A and B are shown apart, each in its own frame.
Chain A
């Protein structure tokens, strides 16, 4: 059985069905990306895993069925979510944001060490550690959101469009750090993106989502080389 296995997943906003029964899986240690246009259901997929939207179907993580759990419980299993819009605690300091990421942990010493480690990945956050997080730039807030997720020592990291609204140079910087995180921590990642190009570079596997249905899946390089994908997602 795969590390994360999703079967027949439907998701609903009130009566409206946003996912129409999708299947996918992720192997431990790998990076999987879900690509799709605006409104395809990418965010909803991540929300479904974190139990923030009503669903049908099964979501099994490391042998445990998540569908009956509240969000806090899912987090305790080691699933960290870098949400759409970054979810910054704007009035709290950068450091407090990181401490909140470790809320479910009790090992105070280790938490201190992990904050240090996040600062090593993102030196800009160290410079701003006492600053109110709402005053950070968009790129810095994205770094903070990833740092906050790392503070959980996640076994699975869900990332919702980390490139969204950022200048290409910043996007590149953030993706390089994600790559380093993958190499050093071996964290399994489920990455959702509209920016197919950059996501396919990082990910091992990819799924294409169109209005709530998976229309194609495979290894990243296969997807990248597909004629239709090139035309509609990569633009060349």
Chain B
């Protein structure tokens, strides 16, 4: 039983990180109908920026906040400079832009910081919080921080004027323009926010998977899976989906299960997670929490 709780809590921690990245992906998807394949590499790059601050002697929290702020601005700039010019281009061109960005960021990180694996410190000191057998301090901090961040984002979208305008611009750009919303700036702002949230995901996952230019490839896959599972039309769904995928992954990946079943489940955990998702989508195409829009003419 204790093992079960341990696995679940650790799964929730890694799932919170998937949730951050999934939310970033869904925020952009809602506004543009595109998956940003470069979201993971953007987060990786952000984490390297935090790493650079650390090498200059900055305390870890300051390095994190600085990197997140820079990521926000960089997200804005990427939208303005790279994405906006291809806004009306054919879909294939846009996908190529995303893939290109992924490769450029990956190579640039390798070139600047090298492909060697580097340790990255946790934001949460080891004597932090309640000492427990069930969950380590970093995992506990991850869950706590992501819950706070996700809740803050929820409040922003739900209760602020700009949050409402961003939702309106994503859902109905023509009408949004007609009430005076600058749709194009809302898109840029969405990219900035997504980059910031992604950066948080990167900084939180780096102490677990270590820092290197390829550290986000697995995370992005699981985050996509989470987003699809929860429903790409629902930010809340994406967050829940990310959490679920994290927990599933941890359950399935544990050696005890492999032993029980008599074959190496651990190596199949990604396959299995994706299978679960395919099955769910077969029965609920909009995802578990995807909203079907009620519309009357």
Q: Which residues from chain A sit less than 8 Å from chain B, CB to CB?
A: 50, 52, 70-72, 75-76, 80-81, 83, 87-92, 96, 99-101, 103-104, 132, 134-138, 141, 148, 152, 165
Contacts and interface: CB of A to CB of B under 8 A. Distances in A.
B180 A50 contact: no
Most buried by A among B171, B177, B180, B181: B180
A100 B293 contact: no
A118 B150 CA distance: 35
A138 B295 CA distance: 10
Contacts of B182: 70, 72
Interface in B166-190: 167-168, 171-172, 174-182
B174 A104 contact: no
Nearest to A76: B180
Contacts of B291: 91
Contacts of B295: 90, 134
B178 A71 contact: yes
A99 B174 CA distance: 16
Given A75-B179, A134-B296, A136-B296, 17 more contacts: A50-B178, A52-B174, A72-B182, A75-B177, A76-B180, A83-B175, A90-B293, A90-B294, A90-B295, A91-B167, A100-B179, A100-B181, A103-B161, A103-B179, A134-B293, A135-B296, A141-B296
Contact of A89 (B161, B172, B177, B297): B172
B174 A132 contact: no
Interface residues of B, number: 22
B181 A96 contact: no
B179 A92 contact: no
B179 to A, nearest CB: 5
Given A72-B182, A152-B179, A91 B296 contact: no
B179 A101 contact: yes
Contacts of B177: 50, 52, 71-72, 75
A129 B64 CA distance: 42
14 contacts: A71-B178, A72-B181, A80-B178, A87-B175, A89-B172, A89-B175, A91-B293, A100-B165, A100-B176, A100-B179, A103-B161, A103-B181, A134-B295, A137-B296
Most buried by A among B165, B178, B180: B178
B164 A75 contact: no
Contacts of B178: 50, 71, 75, 80-81, 83, 87
A100 B296 contact: no
A81 B164 CA distance: 19
Nearest to B233: A91
B168 A89 contact: yes
Nearest to B178: A81
A70 B177 CA distance: 9
B171 A89 contact: yes
Given A134-B295, A138-B296, A87 B161 contact: no
Contacts of B179: 75, 100-101, 103-104, 148, 152
Nearest to B297: A138
Given A72-B180, A75-B178, A90-B171, A100 B297 contact: no
Nearest to B170: A91
Most buried by B among A70, A89, A138: A89
Contact of A135 (B176, B180, B294): B294
Given A50-B178, A91-B171, A100 B294 contact: no
A230 to B, nearest CB: 32
B236 to A, nearest CB: 13
Contacts of A71: 177-178
A165 B296 CA distance: 12
Contacts of B174: 52, 83, 87
A115 to B, nearest CB: 14
Contacts of B297: 138, 165
A161 to B, nearest CB: 14
Interface string B261-297: 0000000000000000000000000000001011111
A101 B180 CA distance: 8
A148 B171 CA distance: 17
